[in-house]
Amino acid sequence: MSRWEPNARGRLEQAALELYGESGFESTTVAEITKRAGLTERTFFRHFADKREVLFAGAGALQEMLVSKVNDAPASLPPIEAIATALHEVADAVFEERREFARRRQAAIAANAELQERELIKLASLSSALADALRERGVADPAASLAAEAGIAVFKIAFERWTNDTGERALSQLIRESMDELKLVTGGQPLTTRR
């Protein structure tokens, strides 16, 4: 019965994100998604456990990539630089070519409280995994937790700017800018000298 559909996953993602934007996540059904994609529900459930998974299926792979890049960073690199390097590499390798998907995904999440909670949990899990990776490198606490939390805060804020940005600045550039800004902020840069 089942047959191979060219780029079924990508077509399902696109159809789902279009529908979440048009009708909202809550009211969209899997049947509507598969109809829009010209695929069967059977195919949908081969790729995703449910309609929420379309938005969060990449979370595990993202976490693995970030952790492995922190593991691979030169031992001499300060903790925050190890995390910044991992974020830059993942931004270029994974996100840059998926900006339109990321924009639609962000809009769907912003419109739904349950999805926002799920996103918070994903980010907390990323932070916790990065802190573990830093501890593996011999970074003591609270520095490991703080560097991980700071890195994820930078990522979150840069990501929001990237998906809202009408210009074409790369995500990795916005991560760099936010990281620099965080350094100024935590350095207690006084308000009066700020732009």
- Report the C-alpha gap between 172 and 92 in whole angstroms: 7
Q: How far is the CB of 161 from a second copy (least distance, A)?
A: 7
Among 12-20, 28-36, 51-59, 175-183, which window interacts with a second copy (CB under 8 A)? 175-183
User: Counting contacts by CB under 8 A, is residue 184 touching a second copy?
Assistant: yes
Among 1-9, 13-21, 98-106, 184-192, which window interacts with a second copy (CB under 8 A)? 184-192
Judged by CB under 8 A, which of 81, 89, 92, 165 binds a second copy?
Answer: 81
Buried b (16+ CB within 10 A) or exposed e, 161-180: ebbeeeeeebbbebbbebbe
Buried b (16+ CB within 10 A) or exposed e, 134-157: bbeeebeeeebbbbbbbbbebbbb
Judged by CB under 8 A, which of 12, 79, 95, 108 binds a second copy?
Answer: 79
Report whether 139 contacts 52 (CB < 8 A): no
* Element (DSSP H or E) covering residue 51: none
User: Counting contacts by CB under 8 A, is residue 143 touching a second copy?
Assistant: yes
Judged by CB under 8 A, which of 22, 31, 120, 169 binds a second copy?
Answer: 120
User: Counting contacts by CB under 8 A, is residue 32 touching a second copy?
Assistant: no
> 82 is written with which tokens?
């190890």
Buried b (16+ CB within 10 A) or exposed e, 52-82: eebbbebbeebbebbbebbeebeeeeebbeb
- Report the C-alpha gap between 101 and 156 in whole angstroms: 16
User: Counting contacts by CB under 8 A, is residue 147 touching a second copy?
Assistant: yes
Judged by CB under 8 A, which of 15, 16, 80, 108 binds a second copy?
Answer: 80
Judged by CB under 8 A, which of 65, 77, 94, 107 binds a second copy?
Answer: 77
Q: Interface residues with a second copy (CB under 8 A)?
A: 75-81, 117, 120-121, 124, 137-140, 142-143, 145-147, 149-150, 153-154, 156-158, 161, 177-179, 181-192, 194-195
